[in-house]
């Protein structure tokens, strides 16, 4: 199976390192030709994870997205959710025919409030059986440092899911298989919202005792929501305490590497949302996700008061201190 990577940010760079370290030759779409030249000459991405070095003989780098797509059987899409329409909208409608699509996107496409698989079905006729996800509690910075991490691969075709996952096994990456192709995506979206809230709480000077209760309640909210959204897998078979659900929630709420936690921390300290985004200088998926989940939940009416309050802080100018005063009274 020939893998290609679409995207060149920190998570794309981490996944490229994992695949190349596992012995795979990969085609890698990198938008900027200067970045490609630097990678070839200096063996690292100058903008992201600059301490992650590559065997460049295993990299086929190109700024032509069609060249990379044509050359590969399996494509890992690692483009921030807000830019998927811009990046893929220029492609021919049959470009993904016979391809396996592996989503490494941890957000929801805000233009039409869609998961990536929904967008690909509507615009490129990509069937869900050819769509897979790679998610889990795995920060790019720790991949660069080769610290042991776990990745969960989800798909309806378990045999193909296992084949894809096996290509990512290295000394520092262990892989897990999961059939919950839709639920894991919503879990990744929700955990970013809750992590943004954890950062706000830290910025407001709440301590670890409060944060532990906050995260426990956020985990319960997540499970309530996941049980209501459509699943391809039977919910009775799912372990919501597994790494792709609870594990990812914990690390995103606690880790100093978490962009969403960083953004929330600044908002809690008094930054406006826009000023905090400019200061962060990176995409924090939880911002758009909070609005998308709010819209998604309108017909479902799942009781998710923490996520609703984070939405109001980010989008309706609710003062963070007032929002968390309200959250205090609903935690158990």
Q: Strand pairing partners for 102?
A: 76, 132
Tell me how far apart the terminal alpha carbons of the chain are, to the nearest angstrom: 48
Nearest residue to 117 (alpha-carbon basis) of 68, 86, 151, 154:
154
Whole-structure pTM value = 0.92
CA-to-CA dists, residue 73 to 1, 95, 97, angstroms: 6, 12, 10
Q: Tokens for 32, please give them.
A: 């900027």
Look at residue 235 in the predicted model and tell me its pLDDT.
54
Q: Where are the domains of the chain?
A: 3-178, 183-328
**Strands 59-62 vs 26-29: parallel, antiparallel or unpaired:** parallel
Nearest residue to 214 (alpha-carbon basis) of 285, 302, 306:
306
Q: How many CB atoms lie within 10 A of CB 318?
A: 16
Look at residue 40 in the predicted model and tell me its pLDDT.
93
Look at residue 223 in the predicted model and tell me its pLDDT.
95
Burial of 230 (0-12, 13-18, 19+ CB in 10 A): exposed
Q: Strand pairing partners for 101?
A: 75, 131
CATH 3.90.226.10 fits 3-178, yes or no: no
Whole-angstrom distance, CA of residue 113 vs CA of residue 297: 11
Residues 6+ apart with CB under 8 A from 288: 81, 82, 107, 108, 110
Q: Tokens for 290, please give them.
A: 């909070």
Q: What is 183-328's CATH number?
A: 1.10.1040.10
Look at residue 229 in the predicted model and tell me its pLDDT.
83
Look at residue 232 in the predicted model and tell me its pLDDT.
54
pLDDT in tens, the chain (332 residues): 999 999 999 999 999 999 999 999 999 999 999 999 999 999 999 988 988 999 999 999 999 999 999 999 999 999 988 899 999 999 999 999 999 999 999 888 988 899 999 999 999 999 999 999 999 999 999 999 999 999 999 999 999 999 999 999 999 999 999 999 999 999 999 999 999 999 999 999 999 999 999 999 999 999 999 998 865 555 557 899 999 999 999 999 999 889 899 999 999 999 998 999 899 887 788 999 999 999 999 999 999 999 999 999 999 999 999 999 999 999 99
Look at residue 231 in the predicted model and tell me its pLDDT.
57
Q: How far from chain centre, in Å, is Cα 53?
A: 23
Burial of 57 (0-12, 13-18, 19+ CB in 10 A): exposed
């Amino acid at each position: 199976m020939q893998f290609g990577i679409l995207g060149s940010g920190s998570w794309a760079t981490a996944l490229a390192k994992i695949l190349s370290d596992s012995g795979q030759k990969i085609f890698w779409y990198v938008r900027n030709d200067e970045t490609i030249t630097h990678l070839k000459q200096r063996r690292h991405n100058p903008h992201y994870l600059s301490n992650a070095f590559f065997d460049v003989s295993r990299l086929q780098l190109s700024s032509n997205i069609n060249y990379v797509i044509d050359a590969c059987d399996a494509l890992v899409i690692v483009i921030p959710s807000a830019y998927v329409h811009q990046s893929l909208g220029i492609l021919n409608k049959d470009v993904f025919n016979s391809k396996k699509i592996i989503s490494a996107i941890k957000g929801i496409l805000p233009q039409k409030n869609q998961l990536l698989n929904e967008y690909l079905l509507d615009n490129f006729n990509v069937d869900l059986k050819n769509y897979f996800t790679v998610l889990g509690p795995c920060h790019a910075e720790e991949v660069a440092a080769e610290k042991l991490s776990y990745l969960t691969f989800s798909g309806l075709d378990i045999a193909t899911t296992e084949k894809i996952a096996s290509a990512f096994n290295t000394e520092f990456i262990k892989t897990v298989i999961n059939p919950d192709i839709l639920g894991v995506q919503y879990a990744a979206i929700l955990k970013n919202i809750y992590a943004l809230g954890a950062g706000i709480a830290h910025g407001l000077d709440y301590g670890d005792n409060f944060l532990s209760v906050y995260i426990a309640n956020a985990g319960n909210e997540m499970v309530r929501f996941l049980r209501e959204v459509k699943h391809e897998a039977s919910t009775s078979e799912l372990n919501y305490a597994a790494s792709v659900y609870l594990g990812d929630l914990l690390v995103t709420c606690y880790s100093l590497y978490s962009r969403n936690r960083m953004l929330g921390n600044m908002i809690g300290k008094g930054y406006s949302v826009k000023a905090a985004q400019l200061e962060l200088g990176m995409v924090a998926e939880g911002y758009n996700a909070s609005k998308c989940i709010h819209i998604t939940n309108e017909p479902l009416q799942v009781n998710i008061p923490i996520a609703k309050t984070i939405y109001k802080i980010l989008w309706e100018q609710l003062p963070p201190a007032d929002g968390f005063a309200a959250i205090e009274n609903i935690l158990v």
